[in-house]
A and B are shown apart, each in its own frame.
Chain A
Amino acid sequence: MPHLLLATLDDEPGVLNRVVSLIRRRAFNIQALTVGPAEAPGTSRMTLVVESDEAGARRVAAHLEKLLNVLKVELLTEKPAVVRYLALLRVAAPVALRSQVLTVGAAFRAQVVDVSEDSVVLECSGGAEKLAALAEALRPYGLLELSRTGALAMARGTAPALIPKARAEADLPPLAMSV
């Protein structure tokens, strides 16, 4: 089953390569990967979906923890979490059908972000199922382009701080899997 991992990384060249190379050579399969700046300057946050059993997901977390540029890893599978994807969809929308296309989009709370002579671009965020359903609903009108991010995720409730305090001060917390 898919497992969600959050990792906080040093925002340095080559770090993404280290993470992806590690997962590849340990024969795990990445389903989705999203990286962007995290709350602390100089760090980035990665959301990773790995297809694996539970023990495998824990091992991925343990392997990631060993990378020097990985500051913290959290395995979200067992915790309540918000998981969101973002999709951009270009749909054929000649004037005669445009209002229908927009109605479908509105039903999914998609935003119109671009309008041209014969098509519109919709932006929609949500769970994977919702975005898949939106794409299917628009397909009869002519789904010209679809671009979707990997997962973004965050634990619900009061999560432990992802970024440890100044690393120079004390030993970092032990590996997530042994907590």
Chain B
Amino acid sequence: MTLTGAQILWECLLREGVEVVFGYPGGAILPAYDALLDVPIRHVLARHEQGACHMADGYARASSKVGVVIATSGPGATNLVTGLATAMLDSVPLVAITGQVGSRLLGTDAFQEVDVTGVTLPVTKHNVLVTRAADLGPALREAFAVARTGRPGPVLVDITKDAQQATAAFDWEAWAPTRHRRHAAPGPKPEDLEAARQLLARAQRPLILAGRGIELSGARDAVLAFAEATGTPIATTLLGLGAVPAQHPLNLGMMGMHGEAWVNQAIQEADLLLAFGMRFDDRVTGNLATYATNAKKLHVDVDAAELGKNVAVDLAAHADLRAFVEALGTDFDTPDTDPWLARIRDLRGDAAVRDIQNLPDDGHLYAAHVIHDLWKLTEGEATVVTDVGQHQMWEAQYYRHDRRRSLITSGGLGTMGFALPAALGAKLAEPEREVWVVAGDGGFQMTSPELMTLVQEGVKLNLAVINNGFLGMVRQWQELFYARRYAATPILSPDFAKLAEAYGIRGLAASTREEARAAIREARTHDGPVLIDFRVEQEDAVYPMVPAGAALDAMIRRPMPAPSLLAETGADATST
């Protein structure tokens, strides 16, 4: 069978199981778009290639399939860079297809020519320039294999226009890739398992650090079984939220810069850290010199280059996490952890009293209240896709993610503008699922034109814009570390509800807690997308907080509420 390069492209995608691609057409990718009309693959037209890339990312995170984004040469391709880097940092399997100028024009600064494989080299797991139709099939098959094997990541295939137009024999079997196999997660080594058991046998105060690797390796059940059998508590990274149920009694919650103080204190007091599919990011460790100095450290990761990268560990196991934890088993003696769990309960101390969600309504609308109410009213069942900043941390603190893949957020790169397009992708991956965007007024304005994509594609999801009139997280740092000199952080916004209406989307606004709850209820029952402009307290700050570079237990706690408010907290506290 002889096909054009463009036909080979879509035939390969079909055979890879691709049902939807996100993209934006242009000159150098026109042959591919022309051939798209003849294949049963849905194309979602974004309003900007960055949006298309985040859509593919959200689709991949919600479905565990490979997301596909397609763009033209030059500016189309460079607009993907932020999305590719976002996927790279958070280990998301993506395949990006870009058109390139004709092969005879390569290197001539032709119209819309950019060295795309050069530009995207550091933000892709692999990339390749295809200049001949005959090379396209092998390159695509390998791209999908590399994207999903081992530690997932984005792969870019740059295809010259003439390679899309020329013909070549289609030979699926002959194109079976092999090089990706070296990325495949190795099984656990017996000596590593034995060393791990010996560490566990001596540990009085063990603690699991749960990262995104748990989801990626399908280790949820294995990790829970291990934790329960050994009585080991769990702290999670931001991307580890939902990897194990938030409300599991052994799950302490999020660690790190905006983790609860007692969780970070527990890390500092632990005598054994079991790092499962996490990478000791600086937002998690604080000052490395003072990080968990009492603890032996066991690190299990599919990526050998992560082992020993940030934190020197006592045992580095390069292995598939699920296979490792399952092989580790529970058939060995470990010390009783009841005293350790009791100690952690003590560490909680007065944290609940300081927690804003436990405070009564004082007439102001706080972002924490909004997130808490969203969690209650959606019964914790929604997929929440956040942007980056204060609202992201409040979401992480107050929405209890029990279900896997129910939080989609840009963790490693911290990409503002991620939420709306990623949520669209997530909704297409799970059409029956209730999906909420939680974004700030700053980040939302970076990609808000994708509202029109929602309408054009007939996608129902709801948007919570946490509007405080500032680039809130930067403002918070200015408040704490730059003497309240608010350089370039006050930000004006359009009337978001009116903006939504201009797109044909229902727009609501809420300034009190009652209005907030009513708006959430209305959004859930309305057929089409609904945007809610939550006008929250302007100079609210996310606590607790480890200042960047400080020791993990040197946290800025939540301020104590006024005594008059404290007296009223009892009833509300138990309602959570």
Contact = CB atoms under 8 A, between A and B. Distances in A.
B181 A63 contact: no
A68 interface: yes
Given A55-B312, A58-B308, A178-B318, A66 B183 contact: yes
B309 interface: yes
B573 interface: no
A174 interface: yes
Given A17-B121, A21-B122, A68 B305 contact: no
B308 A65 contact: no
A59 B308 contact: yes
Question: Of residues A21, A25, A58, A68, which shows the largest number of chain B Cβ atoms within 10 Å of its Cβ?
Answer: A68
B184 A171 contact: yes
A63 B308 CA distance: 12
A59 B309 contact: yes
Contacts, number: 52
A55 B121 CA distance: 25
B554 to A, nearest CB: 27
A14 B305 contact: no
Nearest to A167: B178
Contacts of B303: 66
Nearest to B129: A14
B180 interface: yes
A96 interface: no
B146 interface: yes
Interface residues of A, number: 22
A84 to B, nearest CB: 30
Given A25-B122, A68-B146, A174-B318, A63 B117 contact: no
Interface in A151-170: 167-168
Contacts of A134: none
Contacts of B309: 59
Interface string B314-337: 001010000000000000000000
Contacts of A59: 305, 308-309
Interface in B149-179: 178-179
A21 B305 contact: no
Contacts of A65: 182, 304-305
A157 to B, nearest CB: 25
Given A18-B121, A21-B122, A175 B304 contact: yes
B402 to A, nearest CB: 34
Nearest to B309: A59
9 contacts: A14-B129, A25-B122, A59-B308, A65-B304, A65-B305, A68-B179, A167-B181, A178-B186, A178-B304
Given A59-B305, A68-B146, 12 more contacts: A18-B121, A55-B308, A58-B308, A59-B308, A62-B304, A62-B307, A66-B305, A68-B126, A172-B181, A174-B186, A174-B318, A178-B189
